[in-house]
Chains A and B, each alone.
Chain A
């Protein structure tokens, strides 16, 4: 028993080292920089700076765009996963892979591709012009950023959602139908509650990268639409204010932690429910 325990510990060593070097230590540096006073000691001064309206505005916009993208991803992914569930395994797999394909490409490249699609003389406008419709102005607006986010992060929604929906026992749905539930009722009373873990983890996985992105907003927003990720990037590179950049990162982390807590809470609830069953 003892032998086995030490082996386990030994095998966990690389992971432990990894987490300390690349997760705990960097986090510590962020906290250290965000709370460090110039004269030595600690201060909340940098965090106070973050409370000025310029930063709050960017933060508010980031949360707003991230929420909208998450919602759109959910609305797009949910029916897809329901369809995939009904499909024969092999054909379903093909569609599934097609949806995950963007993950195999560098997201910088796909975002740049969106730039050429949405541009003033881009593909969309060339097409509209060709069929005699007026041009649309999408590039360098919040809408362009949302499109970029949805495209880049949709796979993160599809994956957990597909797993959750696929896991639902077909007989439960049949039972609902047998008992007279129509499509809407089945969806609301049976499918949605049972796929909740997938919805929550999918939403977390979309919301967090959408909240913190700076590449998508820089490329598709023309640096005119400023998200909090862009400010952090600027503080670290151009302004060289690591303290403020770290303080901003800390505020973002609060949002991320809240999100993860929500997911953990959801998981616990699920387990408790399962445990309560006879």
Chain B
């Protein structure tokens, strides 16, 4: 027994010493990396940047990119708000940028350091951004799209131009809806002619009632699984983001996309921003401007398929796109005059969650 005791004690001691060693080692290494080499901490959506583009940025500038990824705006926000980590560049969506500005977590960009952004990004998109970045000081658009209806021409023979088709008894059990409060409630709000940024509780309740009325017709509420179900022909109609349309249509030739039903839809924009506590502000500007370069934006577009606000990319990639060019670069009438989400405040966030819950438990 005594032997075992001694043995265990020495084992534990060794482990302790070893672990301190490893920990301090890591620490030293991290500091060295931070001070010595030129680095940039990027926090972006998962699979949202071409790896080659990052590599090229590192080669050209000598700045090492440390990339962290998130899968929802909501999971990104607290890490920025609590300031636990100091990131240099983020790529949130419209309403989240609005929330970050509202809570004083972003710093204004220095557009003199962003010549490519000024030259290449369409003025329309800077204008649209004012729905969430009122002074146009904080964000440079990176990707954009609309929320539209994907439909299978084998099951849907009529033209699809209105959200109303999602309330048509004919398509019972053939409809897929987005499982997200904001995107789901936006649709009935537009059908009723209300703003998607309304703060009027009665309007929101009317929208909820329409969703409850629709629920028996809905096959499922989903996020990523909507793609698979449309692609395999499991459903006739589905609400999806325009960026996914081309890949889907390539996977199933019966699928067609309506990017903007006539009642109006959401134009979303994901933009580059710099948090207030960023430590490598100059590098961040270099990175954002690099992403606005024509060749880099084209590389990112080809890998992701999301529409780019970069007006110089179309000529580069038009040939490869063929029949899908209209989907990738929608004409003006698709997005002009549409709304983007703005941040509505904490009380309305809670109301949205609650209304959506009421639809789901009904």
Contacts and interface: CB of A to CB of B under 8 A. Distances in A.
Q: State whether these chains interact.
A: yes
Interface in A1-47: 3-4, 6-7, 10-11
A6 B8 CA distance: 12
Given A237-B75, A240-B74, A240-B75, 10 more contacts: A7-B4, A10-B5, A121-B234, A137-B173, A222-B220, A222-B221, A222-B222, A223-B220, A223-B221, A238-B72
B361 A58 contact: yes
B1 interface: yes
Interface in A113-162: 119-121, 137, 140
Contact of B360 (A3, A137, A223): A223
Interface string A222-246: 1110100001001101111100000
A178 interface: no
A137 B219 CA distance: 11
A170 B29 CA distance: 67
Interface stretch (B30-38, B100-108, B347-355): B347-355
Contacts of A86: none
A120 B219 contact: yes
Nearest to A112: B225
Interface in B64-103: 72, 74-75, 77-78
Interface in B325-362: 349-350, 353-354, 357-358, 360-361
7 contacts: A3-B1, A54-B354, A120-B234, A137-B173, A222-B222, A238-B181, A239-B181
B233 A224 contact: no
A224 B221 contact: yes
B360 A6 contact: no
B77 A240 contact: yes
Contacts of A7: 1, 4-5
A57 interface: yes
Interface of A: 3-4, 6-7, 10-11, 54-55, 57-58, 61, 119-121, 137, 140, 222-224, 226, 231, 234-235, 237-241
B252 interface: no
Contacts of B293: none
Interface string B121-138: 000000000000000000
A6 B5 contact: yes
Of A6, A137, A238, most B-chain CB atoms within 10 Å: A238
Contacts of A222: 219-222
A170 to B, nearest CB: 42
A223 B220 CA distance: 6
A113 to B, nearest CB: 14
3 nearest A-B pairs in the assembled complex, by CB-CB distance: A222-B220, A223-B221, A239-B353
Interface bracket on B: 20 to 34
A237 B72 contact: yes
Nearest to B360: A226
A11 B233 CA distance: 58
Contacts of B360: 223-224, 226
Contact of A224 (B72, B218, B353): B218
B208 to A, nearest CB: 12
B10 interface: no
B170 interface: no
A120 B234 CA distance: 7
B234 A119 contact: yes
Given A3-B2, A58-B361, A238-B181, A10 B234 contact: no
A14 B316 CA distance: 61
Nearest to A137: B173
Contacts of B74: 237-240
Nearest to A240: B74
Interface in B161-194: 173, 179-181
A140 B235 CA distance: 13
Contacts of A4: 1
B285 interface: no
A226 B349 CA distance: 20
B8 A10 contact: yes
Nearest to A121: B234
B20 interface: no
B232 interface: yes
Contacts of A137: 173
A7 B72 CA distance: 49
Nearest to A115: B225
A239 B349 contact: yes
Given A7-B1, A10-B5, A224 B220 contact: yes
B232 A240 contact: no
Given A3-B2, A224-B220, A240-B78, A121 B361 contact: no
A140 B1 contact: no
A237 B73 CA distance: 10
B315 to A, nearest CB: 39
B173 A120 contact: yes
